[in-house]
Amino acid sequence: MFATLKFAALLLAVVVCWATQDYDYNDAEIDEEPTLGDSPYGSLWPLPQKVQISTVVFKLSGASFHIFDAKESSSGASCRLLQNAYRRYDEYIFTSSRKQGQNKSKKALASDMSELQVWITSADSECDSYPSVTSDESYKLSVDSPVAVLKAPKVWGALRGLETFSQLVYKDEYGAKSINRTDIHDFPRFAHRGLLLDTSRHFLPIKVILANLEAMAWNKFNVFHWHIVDDPSFPYLSRTFPQLSQHGAYQPYTHVYTPSDVKMIIEFARLRGIRVVPEFDTPGHTQSWGKGQKDLLTPCYSGASPSGSFGPVNPMLNTTYDFMSMFFKEVSTVFPDAYVHLGGDEVNFSCWKSNPDIQKFMEQQGFGMDYSKLESFYMQRLLDIVTTTNKGYMIWQEVFDNGVKLKSDTVVHVWMGNKVEEELQKVTEAGFTTILSAPWYLDYISYGQDWQKYYRAEPLGFKGTDTQKKLVIGGEACLWGEYVDATNLTPRLWPRASAVGERLWSDRDVRDLNDAYSRLAKHRCRMVQRGIPAEPLFTGYCAHEYKGV
């Protein structure tokens, strides 16, 4: 159908019948499940803010098509970030169809799309910077013959636009790489679109983290929330306190992240416009810290004598704060992001209560029996320490709930499943920025298409003023590690996290489940073809099935 319309006028109406896509997905008519029609938006995921797709089709020749810098661009051949991205997307677009030894200088036909020009429009492309919460990720993409133009103020928008461009390319019925005349103006709805991975409950090999950063970029996520340590293990190799991983990691050599591992992960993420926000959660969730750092944790008592087990960080010792000062000073230099996540969730008071020294300290401080005051006492001092490192901080909602005094740029992380809207109201009423994870705990699996549940969640569904709504800067999908390691993480995460990706990027009104199902099914097949074992949404197939086991 396309082929015959090659030279028809540009139709501004958003209409395309993607009958001959590369990413087939069988109709699910047999079982009673969402209908799988073809979306007018093909396989775009997440859906851009403004899209106009015409029925005019151009071909991309593997011999002549290239992505390169527009000559007006403020960012040239010296920008490694963009050059890397061009190579990556050239590979995604042509997979195996660009044959070696082809004549690259072959003349393009009139109907060919011969190049994609990438034009960074602002004077500072930010090519060598790290992305931040204020990074401009907007872009405009105009696909026309013989040249497609991708304009973006910064490299971050160019990265998003390259992904979008690659999603517009499909194979026609003869297998020829094709793209429709298209106009897109795109920008994210929320600035913070994160994914939490937990490397403490199970160690995740570097390879797994990198693969998932790659998949994050395909879904326009821009924050890797690295829940790097927790009770079960401490895989972060600290230069200042190497004994922490020496004694706290599952294995001190094979199950750790060395400084160069961390550096590599941060750079790999940066090249994809992804921030790396590390979480060092205290004062709870710290059992593994105690193995390498004497006196850091509170000794629990059984009656009048120590039981031999330990509780949260000991908040009454000066040595605790000395340690934290040095530790977070290191963290602030290792991780370039402007924010560090300080945790502060789920502090169990029973050990503190059992300890006579703590009891005395409570009395001295006038805390009565309110151990949340002791928790706040600790958090307050910790926050002050981190402030001196010039980092902003994120904290789990309990820290706010307990009335700890927070810097105005603090990000409050809402995770508890009950009273979510009430919490969002309170946090924003108090003037704090916030991100939402409560509806997106992907570690909770269930039978069937649970991506729909994640997709339906609406971060601004609470009652509040426009000012309050603006304080919700995004959200994060969380994949806690109790039941997840390298064997099952990737298929469990994708495409379920993709649903969150679209909710955080696309317009609020983008919520048609049937349309989403059609696009997501194709998007997941694309992820599979690019090498990520994204699991199926339902009965069906991909033209190219996963090649691994």
What residues act catalytically?
Answer: 346
- Residue 248 near a second copy by CB under 8 A: no
Given a contact cutoff of 8 angstroms between Cβ atoms, the answer to whether 498 and 440 are in contact is no
Counted residue by residue, the chain has a size of 549
Distance CA 486, CA 481 (A): 10
**Residue 535: what residue type?**
E
Given a contact cutoff of 8 angstroms between Cβ atoms, the answer to whether 466 and 505 are in contact is no
Considering only residues 94, 187, 349, 538, which one is a binding residue for a second copy as defined by CB under 8 A?
A: 538
- The DSSP 8-state label assigned to residue 10 in this structure reads P
Question: Total residues contacting a second copy (rule CB under 8 A)?
Answer: 53
- The DSSP 8-state label assigned to residue 106 in this structure reads P
For tokens 């169990």, the residue is 348
Residues 264-293 that bind a second copy (CB under 8 A): 287
Distance CA 476, CA 297 (A): 30
Q: Taking the complex as a whole, how short is the minimal distance between the CB of residue 211 and a second copy, in angstroms?
A: 4
- Residue 253 near a second copy by CB under 8 A: no
Region for residue 419 given its phi and psi (left: phi exceeds 0; alpha: psi -120 to 50; beta: otherwise): left
Binding track, positions 445-474, relative to a second copy; x by CB under 8 A: xxxx--------------------------
- Residue 536 near a second copy by CB under 8 A: yes
Measured from the CB atom, the residue of 55 and 233 that comes closer to a second copy is 233
- Residue 548 near a second copy by CB under 8 A: yes
Give the interface segment with a second copy, choosing from 53-61, 197-205, 354-362, 387-395 (CB under 8 A).
Answer: 197-205
Cis ω on the peptide bond leading into residue 46 (within 30° of 0)?
Answer: yes
Cα-only R_g, the chain: 25
Closest-CA residue to 159 (of 227, 231, 67, 240):
67
- The DSSP 8-state label assigned to residue 22 in this structure reads S
Distance CA 67, CA 118 (A): 7
Measured from the CB atom, the residue of 125 and 490 that comes closer to a second copy is 490
Distance CA 99, CA 82 (A): 23
- Residue 365 near a second copy by CB under 8 A: no
Distance CA 96, CA 62 (A): 10
Q: Taking the complex as a whole, how short is the minimal distance between the CB of residue 539 and a second copy, in angstroms?
A: 4
- Residue 232 near a second copy by CB under 8 A: yes
Considering only residues 16, 53, 196, 528, which one is a binding residue for a second copy as defined by CB under 8 A?
A: 528
- Residue 251 near a second copy by CB under 8 A: yes
Q: Taking the complex as a whole, how short is the minimal distance between the CB of residue 480 and a second copy, in angstroms?
A: 10
Strand partners, 180: 57
Residues 93-132 that bind a second copy (CB under 8 A): none
Considering only residues 7, 15, 26, 295, which one is a binding residue for a second copy as defined by CB under 8 A?
A: 26
Binding track, positions 481-510, relative to a second copy; x by CB under 8 A: xxxxxxxx-xxx------------------
Q: Taking the complex as a whole, how short is the minimal distance between the CB of residue 357 and a second copy, in angstroms?
A: 24
260 φ/ψ angles, rounded to the nearest 5 degrees: -75, -30
Measured from the CB atom, the residue of 379 and 489 that comes closer to a second copy is 489
- Residue 302 near a second copy by CB under 8 A: no
- Residue 545 near a second copy by CB under 8 A: yes
Considering only residues 231, 234, 280, 405, which one is a binding residue for a second copy as defined by CB under 8 A?
A: 231
Q: Taking the complex as a whole, how short is the minimal distance between the CB of residue 157 and a second copy, in angstroms?
A: 29
- Residue 345 near a second copy by CB under 8 A: no
Closest-CA residue to 376 (of 344, 329, 341, 408):
344
* Beta strands 139-143; 147-152: pairing state: antiparallel
Strand partners, 139: 186
- Residue 30 near a second copy by CB under 8 A: yes
Q: Taking the complex as a whole, how short is the minimal distance between the CB of residue 228 and a second copy, in angstroms?
A: 15
Distance CA 538, CA 421 (A): 32
> CA end-to-end span of the chain, whole Å?
38
Binding track, positions 413-452, relative to a second copy; x by CB under 8 A: ------------------------------xxxxxx----
For tokens 């502060």, the residue is 344
Q: Taking the complex as a whole, how short is the minimal distance between the CB of residue 254 and a second copy, in angstroms?
A: 8
- Residue 540 near a second copy by CB under 8 A: yes
Q: Taking the complex as a whole, how short is the minimal distance between the CB of residue 139 and a second copy, in angstroms?
A: 29
Alpha-carbon distances of 477 from 215, 221, 433, 474, rounded to whole Å: 14, 10, 18, 10
Measured from the CB atom, the residue of 41 and 203 that comes closer to a second copy is 203
User: Where does this chain bind a second copy (CB under 8 A)?
Assistant: 26, 30-31, 201-203, 205, 207-208, 211, 231-233, 250-251, 254-255, 287, 443-448, 481-488, 490-492, 528, 531-541, 543, 545-549
